[in-house]
Amino acid sequence: MARVLPITPRVLHQHAAARLRQQIVEGLIAPGAKLNERELAEQLEVSRTPLREAIRMLAAEGLVDLVPHRGAVAAQLAPRDIADTFEVIAGLEGQSGELAAARISEPELAEIRALHYEMLAAHTRRDLPTYYRLNASIHDHINAAARNPVLTRTYRTVNARLQALRFRSNFDEGKWARAVRKHERMVELLAARDGAALRRLLVTHLEHKRDAVLEQLAAAHAARA
């Protein structure tokens, strides 16, 4: 009979962080909402210790803010912060694309194509969580194909702050369809090794994401007013 190995505290807090990250990215925990440790511990079926470690992980990623006298809250960026952060990530994605076009291998390109086809299927089903996961994986693979560890570390740090906003930018059906078309073009330009064109496309893609997010925030503010 196989021996059942217990889940170590380290793995436990990583599992908790992954589930908590998904809830924040998908908007199940609203921006600015306080993280109730008791409720989250029960929901995630973990004790307070791994939960607190998971929260610290997400704080390091920029998804959670640790506020004095209030505790942990889901990060909420002001419009100016959003615009500034998208400006930086657009430059990083553009650089990743240009380098990847010059350095990507055929197996790496085949993997990105496979992810793209899976993403198209998720879009057809209107399965936004799966679509977003595959979409993010494509961008990560392009970044990895750039073969620049400094660029990769910087990209991950900045992009973590925008995950929830990038997810919500696809709520508009027209903008979601436009994003899918841009991804099709990304794969074409990677295959053609056209780094300059891919850089321009990725920068434009992120600028459209920024505009969609800021429009949504403005509409939500107007609705509350």
Domains, the chain, ordered by start: 9-74 (1.10.10.10), 79-224 (1.20.120.530)
Q: Which pLDDT score, from 0 to 100, does residue 72 have?
A: 94
Give the pLDDT of residue 132: 92
Identify the residue whose tokens are 């952060």: 85
**178 with 208: CB under 8 angstroms?**
yes
Q: How far apart are the first and last CA of the chain?
A: 63
Buried b (16+ CB within 10 A) or exposed e, 198-225: bbebbbebbebbbebbbebbeeeeeeee
* Mean pLDDT split into 10-residue runs, the chain, 225 residues: 46 87 88 92 90 92 89 91 95 98 98 97 95 95 97 93 85 87 96 98 94 88 79
Distance CA 51, CA 1 (A): 32
Radius of gyration of the chain (CA): 19
- Give the C-alpha separation, 86 to 203, whole Å: 10
